Amino acid sequence: MNNIDSLIENLNKEQKEAVLSTEGPNLIVAGAGSGKTRVLTTRLIHIINQKKAWPNQILCVTFTNKAAKEMQNRVMKYVKGSSNAVPWLGTFHSISVKFLRRHAEALGYKSNFTILDTDDQKKLIRNIVKGEDLDAKKFSPQLIMYHIDQWKNKGLLPKEVKIKKSGTIIKSILKVYEIYQNKIKDLNAFDFGDLILFCVKLFEEHEDIQTIYRNNFKYILVDEFQDTNFIQNKWLNLLVNENENICCVGDDDQSIYSWRGAEIKNFLTFDKIYKNCKVFKLEQNYRSTKNILETASNLISNNSNRVGKKLWSSANQGETVKLNCYRTGKEEAQGISDVIEKKIKKKYSLNDVSILVRAIYQTREFEERFLQVGIGYRVLGGIKFYERAEIKDAVSYLRIINQKFDDLALERVIGNPKRGVGESTLNQIYLFGKANKLCLEDSIIKIIERGEFKPKIKTALHQLINIIHKWRKDSLKMKHSDLLKLVLDESGYSSMLKNKKDLENESRLENLKELLRAMQDYDSLQNFLEHVALATSIDQEWEGAKVNLMTMHAAKGLEFDVVFLPGWEEGLFPHQKSLEEKGDFALEEERRLAYVGITRAKKEAFLSFAMKRAFHGDWMDALPSRFINEIPEECVEKNEIGINETDEFEFNQDNSIEFDEEYRSPGWDRYKKNKILKWKK
């Protein structure tokens, strides 16, 4: 038996069938932890080994360069040849570049075209907005790029976009899109979204070129097929020849990226497009315990738009999934920290422990707690809370209000939002201050008095200094959290973020709301600023192992021994905004996200929710997520943390928040009445 035979022999029955069935259209429905990458790679090696095709006759598409590299390395162990074992193995974008380099002239481009990065795009769009005399605050590069990307994902160039309403903002954005596309063509350039779109145009408009590649590619293999968007799916379909030897691998239950254009219907309708399709289900999980899989499977079974499968494992039953109820979000962070400190770290490395949140702002309470008790942590796929740009901006406003000599804070404030003050003006102010031994603020005042600024800069800086003086007076008579709300509004910072309607800025706004919540725990602006300074100055590069903090979206494809999933409350998870915008479609995607979160756990999983959570600085009753009710009671061990039958919720947090002694959470009462949660005593 050679190495390749043993590779196949070590597969389970379903995996082996999926590998050996090389002909015709195949859909491999690969559950979480079922070895899909192993199956895809083995299938590729088998095709080459059986001489069904030469390596250059196989098109193999992945979603990340990392995945492509790993697959190349695996194939090289079994296939003799060059260092690039399969030349057409790569991402949609990297393969598209190869097509376009070869045939750029057919589209009116030169083969040495440039690929624009994000900064290039922003700069070009800013110039167009300025040239069209559009409001730069209203038409931000981020907003315009978002819409352009959406159109390109749908395969639409400017002339193909149809707008239902006239006179809308979209109409102006479409005009910018048209000018933008003309300009980048003049530059002999493509942006990232163009690469796939123009390949599709190339194949549609030049049948002879399409035929070359359709005849060349005897087999097409696609990884993470559930994440494809409209234009990627069309790209694939244009390259499939009459033999229809296309094999797509993925998991419809892990389709969680609709917000970036992914269309689950590509996966669900594959067998409708390719009539002779064979469907293989990989249901044996090699990652998690039976209890974890049972919990995840029961939850996802509530989705109607899915192929349908049920994961199982030959592993042991394992620890029961824990479902914990806490009184507040702060107590939830404390409780999870205690579990990690007292139990988990004795059994596992902290590197193998992860806390998965629905929204990135949720990391704040955990970061604060970990800093307090000295647990090392890292934020994967994101930045630590007090290091996020919008948080540093807001804190800088508070610092300059608190201390007029804080030159660094004022410098940051001057540029956020932008006031037309460039480097040369700042250098002028600094040099004047140095010569006259003045702080930045006093330097600005003196130069204004001397009339040495240009009129626009003078007006902008004069307004800023005046409003800072006003805020200092306001700070003497109002709560510091209310002060920050006022500052963010009157500075134009809030409107700057609100006008840039994209996911990134929505996340920034949520982070600022969480900052307002954090300020409630401190009795003065001075104490809060001291806390922030200490939190950011502590050496956070702990030696040794660290807990992983990340969103559930960022966790896809990863695995950990222990996973904590906090904040399972209505409005937070499933996320209210998603439900309002997309209804049942969003609910199913949120449930898939829950499924992804639970299946990251190999050995232990902890779900939790709070009965009260601070929202926009105010305490709100919280209801446990409907997802909790969808998990059978026998699947989880339910625990009240510090809550009993007589608990009247007269709880304080460090004596900083007081509640009516007779107050009882309506959410708690409702759920007890409905017997949805039967807690262990």
Give the residue numbers marked as catalytic: 36-37, 223-224, 254, 600
> Could you count the other beta carbons within 10 Å of the beta carbon of residue 147?
18
**What one-character DSSP code corresponds to residue 320?**
P
Query: Residue 624: beta bridge partners?
Result: 569
**How many residues would you count in the chain?**
681
Amino acid at 69: K
CA within 13 Å, CB half, 197:
18
Q: Does the N-terminal peptide bond of residue 566 adopt cis geometry, omega within 30 degrees of 0?
A: no
In whole angstroms, how large is the CA radius of gyration of the chain? 28
What span, in angstroms and rounded, lies between the C-alpha atoms of 664 and 670?
11
Secondary structure (DSSP) of 571-635? BBTTBHHHHHHHHHHHHHHHHHHHHHHHTTEEEEEEEEEEEEEEETTEEEE--B-HHHHTS-GGG
Q: Does the N-terminal peptide bond of residue 574 adopt cis geometry, omega within 30 degrees of 0?
A: yes
What span, in angstroms and rounded, lies between the C-alpha atoms of 422 and 55?
55
The gap from C-alpha 196 to its chain's centroid, in whole angstroms, comes to 22
Asked if 566 contacts 357 with a C-beta cutoff of 8 angstroms, the reply is: yes
One-letter-per-residue 3-state SS of 405-449: CCHHHHHHHHCCCCCCCCHHHHHHHHHHHHHHCCCHHHHHHHHHH
**In angstroms, what CA-CA distances link 538 with 81, 502, 542?**
52, 33, 10
Asked if 284 contacts 30 with a C-beta cutoff of 8 angstroms, the reply is: no
Asked if 24 contacts 242 with a C-beta cutoff of 8 angstroms, the reply is: no
What span, in angstroms and rounded, lies between the C-alpha atoms of 654 and 650?
13
**What one-character DSSP code corresponds to residue 344?**
I
What span, in angstroms and rounded, lies between the C-alpha atoms of 44 and 221?
8
Structure tokens at 160: 């193909």
User: Would you put residue 138 in left (φ > 0), alpha (ψ -120 to 50) or beta?
Assistant: alpha
**What one-character DSSP code corresponds to residue 55?**
G
